[in-house]
A = this chain, B = another copy of it.
Amino acid sequence: MSLFTAGILIIGDEILSGRTQDTNANFIAKNLTASGIKLEEIRVIQDEKKIIIDTVKFFSETYNYVFTTGGIGPTHDDITSESLAEAFNKKYETNAEAYNILKKYYPEGEFNISRQRMAKMPSDVELIYNPMTAAPGFKINNVFVLPGVPKIMEQMLKDVLIKLKKGNPKKITTINTNLYESKIAPSLNDIQNQFIDCSIGSYPYFNFISKKGGVNIVISSWKLNSLDEIEKEIIKMIKFNGGKYSIV
Contacts and interface: CB of A to CB of B under 8 A. Distances in A.
B32 A41 contact: no
Contacts of A117: 185
A188 to B, nearest CB: 6
Question: Copy number in this complex?
Answer: 2
B114 A186 contact: yes
Interface in A153-181: 170, 172, 181
A133 B75 contact: no
A17 B39 contact: yes
Contact of A25 (B27, B40, B44, B218): B44
A21 B117 CA distance: 33
A45 interface: yes
Contacts of A17: 29-30, 33, 39, 170, 172, 220
Contact of A40 (B16, B18, B22, B200): B16
Interface string A10-34: 1001111111111101111111110
Interface residue SS majority, chain A: mixed
A44 B45 CA distance: 12
A61 interface: no
A148 to B, nearest CB: 9
Nearest to A190: B76
Contacts of A26: 15, 18, 20-22
A42 B44 contact: yes
Contact of A76 (B23, B170, B185): B185
A151 B23 CA distance: 19
A2 interface: no
A58 interface: no
Given A181-B74, A188-B75, A44 B41 contact: yes
A95 interface: no
A182 B16 contact: no
Interface stretch (A120-128, A202-210, A230-238): A202-210
Given A25-B44, A40-B46, A73-B202, 7 more contacts: A15-B26, A15-B42, A42-B43, A76-B188, A77-B200, A114-B182, A114-B186
6 contacts: A17-B33, A18-B31, A18-B32, A77-B202, A114-B185, A117-B185
